[in-house]
Amino acid sequence: MSTPPATSGLVRCEVRNAVATITLNRPESLNALNREMRDALAALLTWCGENSDTVRAVVLAGAGRAFCAGQDLREEEEPQSAVSSIEGKRRGDFQALLAGQPQPTIAALHGYVIGRGLEVALTCDLRIAAEDARLGLPEVALGMIPASGGTQRLPRLIGEARALHLVLTAERVDAATALEWGLVTRVVAAAELADALQAMGERLAAHAPLALRYARRAIQEGAGLSLMDGLHLEAALAGVLRTTHDRAEGPRAFREKRPPRFIGA
């Protein structure tokens, strides 16, 4: 496996037991995302995708008191025409890479998870929160809308009514409420967050990579289909898996009472 690409230090990457932990490292600004960080995230996610044979799960975390307090609004940008803005969104950036990662992705949420920080978390497959996490989308209070996936991913995850409440009121919710609403999948004590994320990453890394990838695809793509079409998609993906080494290895290892040796093929 190659080593992760060098970055300026505003984003770090460590790989342990097949789990790549990518950490936003701008704690003095509550990890608000600037251009340099976004470019570094794109480079690191690309590297993870290219090394999916050895990197089996990806964790996104934040250093200091926050996961991410959103986009860095102090970063001056040249005014864009409507066409340029829309085309830029269509081309995507690191979030498009995150959404398409071959590995399962987990967001480690603590402290402030605000604005684009929450939108990045919504792009991950799983979200585990510390008890001190506070989540919100304040954009309308600033004359904006959550335009990095917030208006689309949030209602698909927690339903239209609760999504409208979060977006229109710009309120923040605590970790307990986020768990109740399905915004996060687990809440742990702040001191246990790093260990919980590593354990979850290793659990995912132990599973068959193609099975994980196809299961995610069946759920995510099937959500926009009729039940019958979704069942057809599920059957097609299961059929493709039956041709793989790992599909034969899983039952074989079960019969032989040993851990499976999945190779992602």
User: What CATH topology corresponds to 11-205?
Assistant: 2-enoyl-CoA Hydratase; Chain A, domain 1 (3.90.226)
**Sign of torsion, CA 226 232 234 236?**
negative
CA atoms within 13 A on the CB side of 127: 25
CATH of segment(s) 209-255: 1.10.12.10
- In order, the DSSP letters of 92-160 are --HHHHHHT-SS-EEEEE-BEEETHHHHHHHHSSEEEEETT-EEE--GGGGT---TTTHHHHHHHHH-H
- Confidence check: pLDDT of 88 > 60: no
Q: Where are the domains of the chain?
A: 11-205, 209-255
- The reported pLDDT for the residue numbered 85 is 54
- The reported pLDDT for the residue numbered 77 is 58
- The reported pLDDT for the residue numbered 80 is 54
Q: Give mean pLDDT, residues 234-255.
A: 95
CA distance 195 to 188: 10
Q: Left (φ > 0), alpha (ψ -120 to 50) or beta: where does 200 sit? A: alpha
- Per-residue pLDDT reduced to its tens digit, 181-225: 999 999 999 999 999 999 999 999 999 999 999 999 999 999 999
- The reported pLDDT for the residue numbered 3 is 87
CA distance 64 to 19: 21
Q: Which neighbouring-strand residues pair with 173?
A: 135
Q: Do domains 11-205 and 209-255 have the same CATH topology?
A: no
Q: Give mean pLDDT, residues 151-167.
A: 97
**φ, ψ for residue 230, nearest 5 deg:** -65, -40
Is 13 buried (19+), middle (13-18) or exposed (0-12) by CB count in 10 A? Answer: buried
Q: Which residues are catalytic?
A: 119, 139
* Residue 24: closest CA among 91, 103, 93, 110: 110
**Sign of torsion, CA 37 127 98 45?**
positive
Residue the block writes with tokens 């340099």: 36
Residue the block writes with tokens 């793509």: 221
Query: How far is it between the farthest Cα atoms of the chain?
Result: 63
pLDDT band at 81 (very low <50, low <70, confident <90, very high): low
- Confidence check: pLDDT of 84 > 60: no
- List of residues 6+ apart from 63 with CB closer than 8 A: 12, 23, 24, 25, 26, 27, 31
pTM over 0.85: yes
